[in-house]
């Protein structure tokens, strides 16, 4: 009974997600679904992408949080349009929430759409919101064992960011163990090590996103 209902919900969500994806294609929007634990650096990664792309293309940000608008305020302070979704306790964004933003906001053609999901390394992995790419951020401060414990999240990732590498010397973090966990799930998932605080590694991450923007026909 419960499972049947969950399947219906998932099926309805999938349909709306496909319609979102069609709208993105139509408008040449590249939508990145950014997922991570609370405090892993989702907003910091978004700010780095804004700094690196705002002079060459349109950027629009959707901020998902169960409450508050702290992050949307940070983004608007950078002169970039942002919409805050409050899930009211809900543990993930779903396709309908994104569809509502698409209907109500005038997102221009050829836009990099950065969607910050609710801070949660479990639930968002199972909800397609129509994104083109799934980015998963792990914070080095969370430890090296996350790929072993949160398998569905790392399994769904198109690419992984290992953030906060500037503090790696002050903690215990076994690189080999972390990478073995990722490789056990998917051999080819790219991983970029960055520090949003010092700027280390940001260039490689930006270059990866730039390639995606080119392959979607958004950048020449």
Which one, of 181, 178, 185, lies nearest residue 164 by Cα? 178
Residue 217, Cβ density class (10 Å: 0-12 exposed, 13-18 middle, ≥19 buried) = exposed
CB-based contact 173:139 (threshold 8 Å): no
Q: Which is nearer to its own copies, 62 or 218 (CB)?
A: 62
Please tell me whether residue 202 binds its own copies under the rule CB under 8 A.
Answer: no
Please tell me whether residue 37 binds its own copies under the rule CB under 8 A.
Answer: yes
Please tell me whether residue 185 binds its own copies under the rule CB under 8 A.
Answer: no
Q: Which residues lie below 8 Å from residue 20, measured CB to CB, with a gap of 6+?
A: 31, 95, 98, 99, 102, 129, 130
List binders of its own copies among 90-149 (CB under 8 A): 91, 118-123, 126, 139, 141-143, 145-146, 148-149
Q: Which is nearer to its own copies, 20 or 139 (CB)?
A: 139
CB of 195 to its own copies, least distance (A): 11
β-pair partners for 61 = 82, 114
Please tell me whether residue 12 binds its own copies under the rule CB under 8 A.
Answer: no
Tell me the window of 53-61, 66-74, 127-135, 212-220 that interacts with its own copies (CB under 8 A): 66-74
Q: How many helices (H) and strands (E) does the chain have?
A: 8, 7
Which one, of 48, 80, 79, 45, lies nearest residue 61 by Cα? 80
State which of residues 7, 38, 108, 175 lies at the interface with its own copies (CB under 8 A).
38
**Chain residues in the site for its own copies (CB under 8 A):** 2, 5, 9, 37-40, 65-68, 70, 89, 91, 118-123, 126, 139, 141-143, 145-146, 148-152, 164, 166-167, 170-172, 197
């Amino acid at each position: 009974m419960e499972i049947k209902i969950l399947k219906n919900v998932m099926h309805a969500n999938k349909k709306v997600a496909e319609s979102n994806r069609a709208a993105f294609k139509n408008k040449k929007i590249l939508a990145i679904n950014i997922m991570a634990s609370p405090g892993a650096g989702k907003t910091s990664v978004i700010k780095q992408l804004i700094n690196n792309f705002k002079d060459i293309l349109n950027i629009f940000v959707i901020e998902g949080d169960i409450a508050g608008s702290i992050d949307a305020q940070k983004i608007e302070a950078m002169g970039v349009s942002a919409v805050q979704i409050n899930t009211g306790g809900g543990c993930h964004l779903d396709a309908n929430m994104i569809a509502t933003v698409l209907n109500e906001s005038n997102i221009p053609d050829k836009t990099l759409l950065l969607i910050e999901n609710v801070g949660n390394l479990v639930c968002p992995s199972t909800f397609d919101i129509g994104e083109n790419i799934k980015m998963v951020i792990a914070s080095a401060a969370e430890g090296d064992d996350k790929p072993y414990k949160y398998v569905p999240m790392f399994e769904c990732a198109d690419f992984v960011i290992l953030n906060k590498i500037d503090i790696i010397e002050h903690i215990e973090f076994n690189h080999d163990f972390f990478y073995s966990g990722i490789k056990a799930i998917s051999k080819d998932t790219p991983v970029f090590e960055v520090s949003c605080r010092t700027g280390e590694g940001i260039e490689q991450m930006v270059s990866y996103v730039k390639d995606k923007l080119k392959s979607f026909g958004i950048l020449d």
